[in-house]
Amino acid sequence: MSQSNAELVRSGYEAFAAGDIPAVLAIFADDISWTIPGRSPISRTYTGHDEVLGFFGQLMERSNGTFSLEIHDVLDNGADQVALLVTETARRDDASLTDPGMHLWTVQDGKATNFRAFAGDQYANDEFWS
């Protein structure tokens, strides 16, 4: 039995939480498109493994290694879309971020091809990551 799209995406989050970046990259298509909305220095569309790895590095650098995610729900349309309701948290010096949001994934042929984050409070995200 093949892995569902929701299981595939969830395995990526588990690998990220464990610091297993090769396992995270294994679920991504080589040309994955990764979009972070907003106006902060990390807001843009990243393409491919190297650019997404650079984004992960920025998350850790700008949060002093404290960035984390809590998954509240996983919604799988049974076709190619998986949505996760999450809360992102991070701290840097006297600043902190706790923001509920949504992550939307597109999965095709067993690989994640597209990721887009939706912030619950875009202004707070932009301020924290700037």
What is the pairing mode between strands 111-119 and 28-36? Answer: parallel
Confidence bin at 95 (pLDDT 50/70/90) = very high
Q: Give the pLDDT score at 1.
A: 46
Cβ(113)–Cβ(29) below 8 Å: yes
Domains of the chain: 5-129 (3.10.450.50)
Average pLDDT, the chain: 95
Per-residue pLDDT tens digits for 5-32: 999 999 999 999 999 999 999 999 999 9
The Cα–Cα gap between 77 and 17 comes to 25
Arithmetic mean of pLDDT, 84-105: 97
The closest of 71, 129, 130 to 100, measured between CA atoms, is 71
Question: What pTM, to 2 d.p., does this model score?
Answer: 0.93
CA distances from 88 to 3, 31, 54, 91, 111 (A): 26, 25, 19, 11, 24
